[in-house]
Amino acid sequence: MTLKSEAAALNGKPVQVLKEDGSVIDKRLEPSLSSEDLKKLYYTMVLTRMMDERFFKMQRQGRIGFYLSSTGEEAAHIGSAFSAEKEDWLFLQYREPGAALIRGFSLFHFACQILGNSGDLTKGKQMPCHYAYKKGHLLSISSPVGTQIPQAVGFAWGAKIRNEKSAALAYFGDGATSTGDFHVGMNFAGVFKVPVVFICKNNQLAISLPVQKQTAVSNIALKAQAYGIEGVRVDGNDLLAVIQATRQALQKARSGEGATLIEALTYRMGAHSTSDDPRLYGDEMTLEEWKKKDCILRFQKYLEFKGIWNPDYEKEIQTQAGEEISKAVEEAEKLPPPSYDTLFEDVYSEIPPQLEEERKGVSHAGL
């Protein structure tokens, strides 16, 4: 059974598979997942949250310079990334660490990227939380809001021209839907029916600006209609609803039926970044209400219904995740910074004369 996405977008009510108590609303909407898949998803969600907590504390301790957490939004990005096939490419924002883990990016390399050391696959050239992983089909992340949207559309257009079955997933927040890049990407995708899925994690806040103050539309999924593509509004804290919606959108994209905009309704339960103080603009009462809808807690209750979760299992998961994080950080902190030679790598296939002269100067200086 498919999600009734069009009606959901029109009336503004997000589609759900799980109630807040973890029970299934309609068995026909429940995606087919093995016990191993369910355990993997739950572990990745718990690991992602614990990792966020650890790196946030490390920034406060002066061990790293900057961090962006995804607390409260784990289901929206982990569920959608899990639904993608190996040949699909993900164009992430900077708040989807769980998506990277699901695609095989190691926690060790994640820690190295945050530290910007010699183990960083981007060789210290990117801001923290701006990871890239070619093997997992994760494109390099950029700070400017929304720039990944037309990039994903361009990739999808190329895949269509080459008759490939791969699709692109573009991740962004509610604030990005007010940018020119959003308009350009959506319009092109609608006209040329490219195989792309737009995943808007509507976490209610574009840094410090509430969603009501940056768009007049009643819900973001409705914006899809202006571009001739389908808009789907799902409960972003419902992991199963996210998986079901993404699977349907990807199937549609690969069959040549065009793009889909998925609005995953969720809430940013922490600061925008370690440089932000949400107490200056946040609403404590709203935060407490959203905490009751916590995506991890809801999925935990679902697993309890399935006979998978119990307090002993939770203790085991927490211990395993904590040890994995500690080991990755410990190993990453042993590594030195990247060598100065890496400044001249990954820019030109053949280094031009003026850069070669600079590179030799660096080498002669013993840097």
| Residues carrying an active site annotation | 268, 272, 281
With beta carbons less than 8 A apart as the criterion, state whether 45 and 295 touch.
Answer: yes
**Residue 66 to residue 127: CA distance in whole angstroms:** 8
The CA distance from 216 to 182, in Å, is: 16
Q: Which residues of 22-60 are buried (b: 16+ CB within 10 A; e: fewer)?
A: bebeeeebbbebeeeebbebbbbbbbbbbbbebbbebbe
What φ, ψ does residue 233 adopt, rounded to 5°?
A: -115, 120
Q: Give the residue among 145, 147, 168, 165 at the shortest CA–CA distance from 156.
A: 168
Helix (H, G, I), strand (E, B) or coil at 250: helix
CA gap 157, 167 in Å, rounded:
9
Cα–Cα dist 23/21, whole Å: 6
d(CA 241, CA 349) in angstroms, rounded, equals 45
CB atoms inside a 10 Å sphere around CB 298: 24
Residue type, 321: A
**Distance, C-alpha 167 to centroid of its chain:** 16
Per DSSP, the residues of 107-136 read HHHHHHHHHT-TT-TTTT-S-TT---BTTT
- Calculate helix-pair angle for 295-305, 35-60, nearest 10 degrees: 150
